[in-house]
């Protein structure tokens, strides 16, 4: 590998998130290459009005860091892999960190990435990072994606859509996980942006399928796009096709189940149809936490309370997630909260409190559990402990406003499991701010 290089980091996408990330890194003394195929700044910054007012002065005041950014134009040819490969050809550094337009790298993540690049000169390793979406009813979605890898001649992207890294005939890449997140900006969840991305994804998936034939992955992409566009019947047909194409127990099969459950939720709650489908999915994925929480929500809405509690309890104690699919970060804590809410509906407040305290001991930094604990303490007349939890909630709210004055990071979600006392969430994260996104986790509890 080269011992000297022109750029430390390459940012792909010159929208508001890409520019801010590049400027932050440039301000820390890193040499940046920023690659944008259209207009630097994205639609909101290029427009005469409507953009974030704090960004304009910040960019103008950052003239020195901006000199470290190289903007490269590349024609859009309906192929994400081709654009990423063209970006890699411009990079001269040893490592590449990929961002989507609208994503932001928090300072702690930037520092962690730099430490990896500076201290681990292992050209056979790549790193997946959590990509986090917005907060729904106190819970946030995320998915783990391969975003940091060494620049090697035998590493290339393939795929018009849902592009992925492939390694040529040389030594493969070992995958490790960095727990520091990349955060999606709220603008990525706006209806117009989702609609535009869905229309593009639909076109690209159809082109890819015409070229390479049917696959579960492409049918899931078509289903996602149709779901976002409100074409629920067409989305369901694509997800059914994905189920037929997918290998048993594969992430593609699980994603197709998530999609079908979301479709059922979107057309109106048919609890018996949802129950039948989620039980079918659990035959293959018996410990999937999101399916279990959805099952508990469906059972509770049908007044099968003891069975619903068991589903929530298994999700809390034994539940697993598929990290390569969108999932709720606090899915196990949500399961405990839903189980506790169901115990309260059964007039068993002591059992509810026992479950919540067990979850709190395991996840003392949870943002979801203090609210449920405070309400349960009050119900049992333990006012001092209730006030302590409520004070903690107030402090966390102030911290959240200070950290995210724009309302928090962006999001994703899907298949409904409504957190206790809240509007339903959904079980999938990806497609719907219209129907909601696709993480199968929102039970009616």
> Which residues lie below 8 Å from residue 354, measured CB to CB, with a gap of 6+?
none
Q: Which of 289, 211, 288, 284 is nearest to 246 (CA)?
A: 284
Q: What is the dihedral of CA 302, 306, 308, 313, to 10 degrees?
A: 170
How far, in Å, are 310, 311, 335, 354, 420 from residue 304 at the CA level?
A: 10, 11, 16, 21, 16
Q: Could you list the pLDDT tens digit for every one of the 445 residues in the chain?
A: 444 566 777 777 766 667 667 766 665 667 777 776 655 555 433 322 223 332 222 222 223 333 445 666 778 889 999 988 988 888 877 888 888 878 888 888 988 888 888 876 677 888 999 999 866 555 689 999 999 988 888 889 999 999 988 887 555 788 899 999 999 888 787 888 889 999 999 999 999 999 999 999 999 999 999 999 999 999 999 999 999 999 999 999 999 999 999 999 988 878 899 999 999 999 999 999 999 999 999 999 999 999 999 999 999 999 999 999 999 998 999 999 999 999 999 999 999 999 999 999 998 888 788 888 888 888 888 888 888 888 877 766 544 443 443 333 333 334 444 445 433 334 443 333 333 334 454 445 6
Provide the residue ranges of all domains of the chain, joining segments of one domain with +.
9-184, 216-441
How far, in Å, are 137, 175, 275, 362 from residue 182 at the CA level?
A: 21, 17, 35, 25
CATH class of 216-441: mainly alpha
Q: Which of 152, 155, 151 is nearest to 168 (CA)?
A: 155
């Amino acid at each position: 590998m080269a011992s000297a290089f022109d750029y430390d980091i390459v940012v792909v996408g010159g929208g508001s998130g890409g520019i801010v990330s590049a400027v932050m890194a440039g301000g820390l003394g890193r040499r940046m290459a920023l690659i944008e195929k259209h207009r630097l700044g994205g639609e909101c910054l290029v427009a005469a009005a409507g953009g974030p007012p704090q960004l304009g002065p910040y960019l103008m005041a950052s003239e020195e860091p901006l000199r470290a950014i190289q903007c490269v134009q590349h024609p859009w040819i309906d192929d994400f892999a081709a654009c990423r490969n063209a970006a890699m050809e411009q990079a001269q550094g040893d490592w590449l960190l990929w961002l989507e337009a609208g994503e932001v790298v928090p300072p702690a993540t930037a520092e962690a990435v730099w430490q990896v690049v500076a201290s681990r000169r292992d050209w056979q390793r790549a790193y997946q990072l959590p990509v986090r979406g917005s907060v729904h009813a106190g819970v946030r979605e995320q998915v783990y994606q391969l975003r940091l890898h060494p620049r090697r001649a035998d590493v290339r992207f393939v795929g018009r859509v849902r592009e992925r890294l492939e390694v040529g005939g040389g030594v493969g890449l070992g995958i490790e996980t960095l727990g520091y997140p990349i955060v999606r900006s709220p603008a990525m969840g706006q209806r117009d942006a989702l609609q535009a991305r869905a229309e593009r994804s639909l076109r690209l998936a159809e082109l890819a399928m015409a070229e390479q034939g049917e696959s579960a992955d492409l049918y899931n992409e078509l289903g996602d796009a149709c779901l976002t566009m409100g074409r629920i019947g067409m989305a369901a047909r694509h997800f059914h096709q994905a189920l037929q194409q997918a290998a048993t127990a594969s992430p593609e099969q699980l994603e197709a189940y998530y999609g079908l459950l979301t479709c059922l939720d979107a057309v109106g709650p048919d609890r018996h149809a949802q129950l039948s489908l989620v039980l079918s999915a659990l035959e293959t994925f018996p410990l999937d936490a999101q399916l279990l929480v959805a099952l508990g929500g469906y059972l509770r809405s049908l007044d099968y309370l003891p069975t619903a509690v068991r589903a929530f309890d298994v999700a809390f104690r034994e539940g697993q997630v598929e990290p390569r699919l969108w999932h709720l970060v606090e899915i196990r804590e949500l399961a405990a909260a839903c189980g506790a809410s169901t115990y309260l509906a059964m007039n068993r407040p002591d059992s509810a409190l026992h479950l919540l305290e067990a979850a709190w001991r395991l996840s003392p930094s949870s943002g979801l559990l203090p609210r449920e604990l405070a309400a349960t303490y009050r119900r049992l007349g333990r006012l001092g402990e209730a006030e302590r939890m409520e004070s903690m909630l107030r402090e966390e709210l102030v911290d959240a406003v200070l950290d995210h004055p724009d309302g928090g990071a962006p999001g994703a979600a899907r298949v409904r499991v409504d957190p206790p006392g809240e509007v339903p969430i959904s079980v999938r994260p990806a497609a719907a701010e219209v129907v909601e996104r696709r993480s199968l986790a929102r039970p009616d509890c």
